[in-house]
Structure 1
Amino acid sequence: MEHKNKNPGADRPVIHMIDTESDEIEALAMAMESRNPKVAELLYEELGRADLHPAADMPVNVVTMNCKVEFVDERSGAQRVLELVYPKDADIEQDRISILTPMGAGLIGMVAGETIAWPDRSGSERVLRIVGVTPPENR
């Protein structure tokens, strides 16, 4: 099943998500609406511009849940590798970032080589370039 992109942001490319992960992310966004409406809105925007795919059809260079993402912050030049995880598994000291953070929401569905402008926690815009993606072992 494929969900067609309805409203791509002018500066945000179409993203790709695993269909079952999309359902889980939507449930998280709904649960976050009252506690953190900004993050919930960011997740809804990402879901709205996503093309959905079965896990078996997802290319290995797409950021999905539980994958490792190597990216560069274009402003600072800082390069990091983070694992994108669900909130219960988040641990920044272990480089595991929650999908419920602005950066986590910005990374989901991106493809290696792409860049995205995304607000950080302070509201400043950051340009992140995806250098590489390592899919989870169970995908």
Structure 2
Amino acid sequence: MAPEEKKQRKPVITVTRSDHERLGRLAQTHAGRDPNVADELSAELERARVVEDMRIGADIVRMGSTLRFTSDLGEDRLVTLVFPGEADIAEGKVSILTPIGVALIGLSAGQSIDWTDRGGRRHRLTVQTVGSSKDTPALAARTDRRPAS
């Protein structure tokens, strides 16, 4: 039973004070439209370690971060975590108000998390690299985007 408990334990996450406040308001506002995602975001914010904006590590996923992650499905994706109005999956801009967006917030490079998609299937992703949106060309250059074999 211990291995299963360890598998389900969520990693420690860190969120900036300004992201924490803004995302908390967003979760409250969105609760009527998609209560599952809003509740999940609220739960993540509740368990997050909150730090001052200038004290966040460069390798931690925050709003506006561009990151590369791999998944148990063999995906290797480069995405930017954005607010809902900026989302555009064709451009790799993932909304925080999606199950995968909620899973990504606060993780650092090397951390993994289990998350549940809208269809109820469990997945696991691992953050490989993190940068800001202005670092996108450099991150892309370091990313081998071929699917895992």
Structures share fold, TM-score greater than 0.5: yes
| Alignment partner of 1:114 is 2:100 | no
Letter in 1 for 2:102: A
Helix, strand or coil at the partner of 1:29 = helix
Q: What corresponds to 1:55 in structure 2?
A: 53
Q: Which of residues 31, 35, 59 in structure 1 aligns to 2:33? A: 35
SS in 2 for 1:126: strand
Pick one of 93, 96, 99 that aligns with 1:99.
96
Distance 1:66 1:55, change over 3 A: same
TM-fit CA distance, 1:135: 2.4
- Partners of 1:117 and 1:53 lie apart in 2 by 24
Structure with bigger gyration radius: 2
Give SS of 2:108's match. Answer: coil
Structure 1 vs Structure 2 CA RMSD: 1.3
Give the gaps of 5 or more residues in structure 1. 1-9
Aligned partner of 2:83 among 74, 86, 99? 86
Partner in structure 2 of residue 6 of structure 1 = none
In 2, the alpha carbon distance for the partners of 1:131 and 1:98 equals 19
| TM-score, length-scaled by structure 1 | 0.88
Aligned to 1:3: none
The number of residue pairs the alignment matches comes to: 128
Counterpart among 117, 121, 125 of residue 124 in structure 1: 121
Q: Residue 130 of structure 2 is aligned with which of 128, 133, 138?
A: 133
For residue 55 of structure 2, what is the amino acid of its counterpart? D
Cα distance between partner residues in 2 of 1:83 and 1:90: 9
Q: Could you tell me how far 1:121 is from its partner in structure 2?
A: 2.0
What CA deviation, in whole Å up to 9, does each residue of 1:63-111 have, x standing for no partner? 000010100012x211001100001111111100000000000000001
3-state SS, counterpart of residue 39 of structure 2: helix
1:86 counterpart letter in structure 2: F
Alignment partners' CA distance in 2, 1:67 and 1:57 = 15
Structure 2: runs of 5+ lacking an equivalent: 1-7, 135-149
The whole-number CA distance in structure 2 between the counterparts of 1:51 and 1:89 is: 26
Q: CA deviation at 1:136?
A: 4.2
What is the alpha-carbon distance in structure 2 between the residues aligned to residue 40 and residue 135 of structure 1? 25
